[in-house]
A = this chain, B = another copy of it.
Amino acid sequence: MLVHPNLERSLGFQLRLLEVEAEAQARKALEPFDISPARVAALMVIDANPGCTQTALGEALTVNRASAMKLVNFLEGRGLVRRTPSPDPRANALLLTDEGCSALKAMTIALKAADDQAMSVLTAKEASIFLACVGKLRDSFAAEGENNP
């Protein structure tokens, strides 16, 4: 069945289909850990920014404070993240627990294997151009968003 000539050539639609498949693949790679890709992304942000606040976590993941809080509630409940006192008593400083740290290492390995397998259909040159284009496009969208806030 035909989808539609305009859809086949549409950047947005093709990206959406690809992203849906990439997310499903990541979800599968994470099945042994019973955790979603978005939550692993949160762990990675905290790992890269120990002591960051929930608001900062939300900004890095482009979700709002309330959503960031739900993420942290889940990760804390799993024993992967700790809320610790921060210089500013209004804020929480987020840290990975020891368990969170070792779990993240294992998850990262699983995700990378899946990623590498998907990227293996591209030549090295294609992969490099592809990732550069993704970056350029993201910058382009970000610039547009600033012009029309």
Contacts and interface: CB of A to CB of B under 8 A. Distances in A.
Chain A interface main SS type: helix
Contacts of A60: 1, 3
Interface string A96-125: 000000000000100110110111111000
A11 B29 CA distance: 14
Contact of A144 (B5, B117, B137, B139): B117
A78 interface: no
A36 to B, nearest CB: 12
A92 interface: no
A45 interface: yes
Interface in A135-149: 135-142, 144-145, 148
A60 B119 CA distance: 25
Interface stretch (A18-26, A65-73, A79-87): A18-26
> How large, as a class, is the contact surface on chain A?
35 or more
Given A122-B133, A129-B133, A141-B118, A15 B18 contact: yes
A17 to B, nearest CB: 6
B2 A49 contact: yes
19 contacts: A2-B48, A2-B49, A4-B44, A6-B108, A6-B112, A14-B131, A14-B134, A16-B37, A18-B137, A21-B141, A22-B137, A22-B141, A25-B144, A28-B148, A118-B140, A121-B139, A121-B140, A122-B137, A126-B129
